[in-house]
Structures are given as C-alpha cells and as structure tokens.
C-alpha cells in the first residue's frame, strides 16, 4: 500500500471548526471539501483495512457533514440537489422560450423590425455568446482534468499490471453495448419502417469524409508531441501519455512520490475549479437550449417525424433496458439509484451535445456520488467519451434502414449483420476522427452499397437527436465504469447506495 500527502488524521482535523466559525459557514464548507477531496485522491490500495479506503472516506464525509455536536450543515458541499433542480428548470425554461420565439417568427406574429432584433441581439447575440462561453469554459477543464486524474489514478494502483485487465474489460463492455444498441435500432427500424413511402427530394448532395485506415488510426493514438496533443484536445493521445507518465511515477521512487504529491494537490484544485464553473451551468444551459429551439423549433421534425421518433424511442429503450441489465446483472447495483445520481451530467450533456465538454462533471459525479475509484473512472470515462458511441450507433442503425427504404433498396439479413459489425468496429477505428458520427454513417452506407447522399435527408433533425444521443452515451460511460470498478473491487457500495 502506498499513500502520499497528509495522513488521514490530518484530514480529519481539517473538518474541525475554528473558534467563531458557525455551522454552514464558508470556512467550514472549505475545510469540509478539503477533508473529503484530499483523502480520496491520496488513497492507496483502497482495501477494507486501509484508512484511506472508500468505505472509511464515506464515513468521513458523513461525519464532516455535521457541525459541532452533530448538528447538520444546512446544505451539502455542492448544493447538488438544488443545482440539479436549477439545471432542469433552466432546460425547460430554455425550451419554452425558444419555442415561443420560433413560433412568433414562423407565424409572423412580430413586426419585421422586432423579429430582426430578436434574431440579431437575442438569438445570435445573448443566447449564442453566453452558450458559447459556457461551452468553452467546460472544454477548458477537460485536458487538465483528464491528464491529472489519469496520472493520479494510474500511480495509485497497487498493481500496475491490473491496468491491462481494466482496459480489456472496458473495451469489451463498450463494444458489447454498442453492438446491442445498433441491433436494437435495426430491429425497431425494420418493424416500424420509417422510410417507407418517403417522398425523396431532388438534387440531394452530401460530401462525406473518408475515414482513415485502421493502421493509421492505431499509429495516431501514440503522440509524438504531448503538448501538441493537449493543445488540440486529442483525447486518445492524452490518455496514452497520461498512462505512461503515471506508470513512470510508480517506478521512480522518492522523486516519483514528490511529483505525485504535487499532482494530487493539483487534482484538488482542478476539481474545485470544476465546481465553481458548474455553478454557472443553469445560465449556460438555458441559453444553449433556447438558441437551438428558437432556430429549429419543432417544424424541422415534421417531414421526418417517423424517423425522429423511432431514433428517440430506441435511445430511450437502450438507456432503460440495456444499462439496467448491465448494472444489475454484472454488478448487482440498483439502476434507479444510478439514474438518480446521474441526473446532473445527463442534463448538462443534453444541453451541450458534447460528451467531451461534460467530462469534468461526469468524472466528479461518478467518483464522488457513485463511489467509483479514481484509478478506474479516470481511465474508463475519457476512453468512453472517445470510443463509446451507443447513441451514435442507434442513429446509424435507424438511418441505414431509413435510407434503404427511402431509396427502395433491399439490403437483406446479410446487410444488416454487416451494419452491426461495421458500426461496432468503426466506433474504435474512427475514434479520433472529427465529426465521427457522420463519418461512421458514411462508412456503413458504403459497406452495404447505399447512396451516401441519403445522409442529407436526416441532417435537418440531427442536432436535436444529437442532444439525446449524448445523454445516452454519458449513461453508458458511467454504467461501464461502475461495472468495471465493481469487478475490480474498487467500487464503494456504501457511497453508491447513499
């Protein structure tokens, strides 16, 4: 067992109240968070007899949630229930405001001058600026959080050879859920037939990107310049470099311990920054949702209503059937508790339509609220944000059947099997490709000899569906992380059930 940084007794002393500090005061809240965050990042093996084990840390968190004499602090350290409610309220408010603006514009209820003011100053102005700044602030945290978390997680493993086993389990589960997702999508689309009788417009064009060969993708995973990889946000290259760096720390003796102590302190600071920025989430969520629905409304769905609701239905089915089966069957965990605790990152993922931008919140939630050890989730979640594409696979399955039916082309059972295999393998083979969803769809269509131009049919509703796909992808990442952590004995069940 290794432990670096302050011992547990020092962490406990941080929970104490200075003279004159009232329960729930800012000073107490700061000491509470230091006590909770610091021990969790300095834990060694995390065994039951370890004073830094997840179970002992959960007891410490509950102890620190009380003031002098056992009085309860009025609110937890993050105000999580209140924050979740504010984010959900902001989503609904943004939806209503956006639809009202869209309806007023489409029905010509406003004077031309007023409509232009709304477009220029509200939609393209306030909503766009605030939403873009919020997204940028989230993306700002992704690279430092992933790098620091993976270094700390890898260096805290008592047996670094476990990393290969964890990686193999994670990859296998991600591929399994992706194959299940696209299989459900194909079955639903064949039964409902969303493209039957669709009136094809003329002059369709779509210039699809060509996916690189698998050999080049594998080569590109290894960075030649880690600084450049971080500047470009290349998650797979950052992942590889962080794993190698953390592994090197474990082999470096005392110098490695000193560097690791610095990274553990840095991890606390980065997590604090995450929580500061997440307090602004309701405002960013409101502006992002309002802008999307003000520009598109529901009229964009009308021509493709059947396709839209088939995709939506399969996404809901996959989230409510596959993930609970995974959690209950392989880990014995309660799916309802899982869904309840995942509400904040799911709401944020729906609003931003970006797994990468939501990654800081997902990491914080999975580690702090679901009880997954940092050494597991710091590896599985960044990897999942890059290669786990359950939602995208569902879109590809339904879109393939829709395009085949719209063009009157029969691809047969062999074609459907080819779609499943191609989409599952492509989720890994095209992991680092920009705009990967449409790249993968173009690859699948070419594989079964369907016209790539058919992608132009579905682009109109893809932005709305992308929001739901992202939420499903986040649930998949977190579910796999819980299952892998439970199998490795690095899931604190007490924290999960709390």
Count Cα atoms within 13 angstroms, Cβ side, for 392.
30
- Closest CA relative to residue 286, chosen from 90, 464, 460: 90
Q: What is the pLDDT of residue 212?
A: 64
- CA-CA distances (angstroms) from residue 437 to 236, 375, 407, 411, 460? 17, 29, 22, 21, 15
299: left (phi over 0), alpha (psi -120 to 50) or beta: alpha
**In the structure encoding, which two tokens stand for residue 107, read together?**
């029905």
Q: What are the contacts of 259-263 at 24+ separation with CB within 8 A?
A: 260/4, 260/151, 260/152, 260/155, 261/4, 261/5, 263/148, 263/151, 263/152, 263/155
State in Å, rounded, how far the first CA of the chain is from the last one: 27
How far apart CA 452 and CA 82 sit, in angstroms, is 46
What b/e string do you get for 448-463 counting C-beta neighbours within 10 Å, with b at 16 or more? bebbbbbbbbbebbbe
Q: Which of 457, 426, 456 is nearest to 439 (CA)?
A: 426
pLDDT score at 128: 87
CA 352 – CA 287 distance, rounded (Å): 10
3-state secondary structure the chain: CCCCCCCHHHHHHCCCCCCCCCCCCHHHHHHHHHHHHHHHHHCCCCCCCCCCCHHHHHHHHHHHCECHHHCECCCCCCCHHHHHHHHHHHHHHHHHHHHHHHHHHHCCCCCHHHHHHHHHHHHHHHHHHHHHHHHHHHHHHHHHHHHHHHHHHHHCCCCCCHHHHHHHHHHHHHHHHHHHHHHHHHHHHHHHCCCCCCCCCCCCCCCCCCCCCHHHHHHHCCCCCHHHHHHHCCHHHHHHHHHHHHHHHHCCHHHHHHHHHHHHHHHHHHHHHHHHHHCCHHHHHHHHHHHHHHHHCCCCCHHHHHHHHHHHHHHHHHHHHHHHHHHHHHHCCCHHHHHHHCHHHHHHHHHHCCHHHHHHHHHHHHHHCCCECHHHHHHHHHHHHHHCCHHHHHHHHHHHHHHHHHCCCCCHHHHHHHHHHHHHHHHHHCCCCCCHHHHHHHHHHHHCCCCHHHHHHHHHHHHHHHHHHHHHHHHHHHHHHHHHHHHCCCECHHHHHC
Q: What is the pTM of this model?
A: 0.69
Residue 173 confidence (pLDDT): 93
Q: How far apart are CA 95 and CA 226, in angstroms?
A: 41
- What is the residue-level pLDDT of the chain in tens, covering all 498 positions? 343 344 333 333 334 333 333 333 333 333 333 333 433 333 333 333 333 444 444 444 444 444 333 333 333 444 455 777 788 888 888 888 888 888 887 767 777 777 777 877 888 888 889 888 888 887 787 788 878 888 887 777 666 667 778 888 998 999 899 999 999 999 999 999 888 777 665 444 445 555 566 677 678 778 899 899 888 877 778 888 988 898 888 888 888 889 989 998 998 888 788 778 878 888 888 888 888 888 877 666 666 788 889 999 999 999 999 999 999 999 999 999 999 999 889 988 888 877 778 888 898 899 989 999 988 888 888 888 878 888 888 988 999 999 888 888 888 888 888 888 887 877 665 554 545 677 778 878 888 888 887 887 787 777 778 888 889 999 999 999 999 999 988 899 999 988
């Amino acid at each position: 067992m290794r432990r670096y940084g302050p011992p547990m007794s020092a962490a406990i002393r941080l929970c104490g109240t200075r003279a004159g500090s009232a329960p729930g005061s800012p000073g107490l809240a700061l000491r509470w968070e230091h006590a909770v965050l610091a021990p969790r990042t300095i834990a060694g093996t995390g065994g039951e007899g370890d004073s830094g084990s997840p179970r002992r840390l959960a007891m410490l968190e509950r102890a620190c949630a009380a003031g002098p004499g056992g009085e309860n602090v009025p609110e937890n350290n993050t105000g999580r229930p209140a924050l979740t409610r504010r984010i959900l309220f902001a989503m609904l408010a943004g939806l209503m405001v956006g639809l009202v603006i869209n309806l007023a514009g489409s029905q010509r209820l406003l004077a031309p001058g007023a409509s232009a003011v709304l477009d220029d100053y509200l939609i393209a102005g306030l909503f766009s600026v605030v939403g873009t700044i919020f997204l940028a602030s989230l993306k700002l945290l992704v690279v430092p959080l992933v790098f620091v978390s993976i270094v700390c997680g890898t260096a805290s493993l008592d047996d670094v050879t476990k990393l290969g086993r964890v990686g193999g389990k994670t990859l296998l589960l991600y591929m399994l859920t992706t194959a299940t997702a696209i299989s459900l999508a194909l079955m639903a689309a064949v039964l409902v037939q969303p493209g039957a009788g669709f009136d094809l417009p003329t002059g369709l064009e779509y210039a699809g990107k060509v996916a690189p060969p698998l050999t080049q993708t594998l080569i590109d995973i290894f960075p030649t310049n880690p600084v450049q990889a971080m500047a470009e946000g290349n998650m797979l290259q950052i992942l590889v470099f962080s794993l190698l760096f953390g592994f090197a720390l474990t082999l470096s003796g005392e110098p490695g311990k000193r560097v690791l102590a610095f990274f553990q302190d840095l991890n606390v600071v980065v997590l604090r920054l995450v929580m500061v920025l997440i307090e602004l989430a309701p405002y960013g969520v409101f502006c992002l949702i309002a802008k999307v629905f003000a520009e598109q409304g529901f009229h964009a769905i009308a021509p493709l209503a059947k396709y839209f609701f088939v995709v939506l239905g399969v996404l809901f089915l996959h989230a409510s059937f596959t993930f609970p089966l995974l959690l209950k069957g392989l880990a014995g965990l309660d799916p309802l508790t899982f869904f309840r605790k995942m509400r904040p990152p799911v709401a944020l993922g729906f609003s931003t339509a970006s797994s990468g931008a939501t990654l800081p919140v997902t990491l914080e939630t999975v580690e702090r609220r679901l009880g997954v050890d940092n050494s597991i989730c710091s590896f599985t979640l960044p990897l999942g944000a890059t290669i786990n594409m359950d939602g995208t696979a569902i879109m590809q399955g339904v879109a393939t059947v829709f395009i085949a039916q719209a063009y009157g082309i029969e691809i047969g059972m062999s074609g459907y099997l080819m779609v499943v295999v191609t989409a599952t393998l492509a989720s890994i083979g095209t992991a680092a490709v920009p705009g990967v969803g449409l790249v993968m769809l173009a690859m699948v269509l070419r594989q079964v000899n369907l016209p790539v131009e058919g992608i132009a049919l579905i682009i109109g509703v893809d932005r709305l569906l992308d929001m739901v796909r992202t939420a499903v992808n986040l649930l998949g990442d977190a579910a796999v992380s819980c299952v892998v952590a439970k199998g490795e004995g690095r899931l604190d069940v007490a924290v999960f059930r709390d």
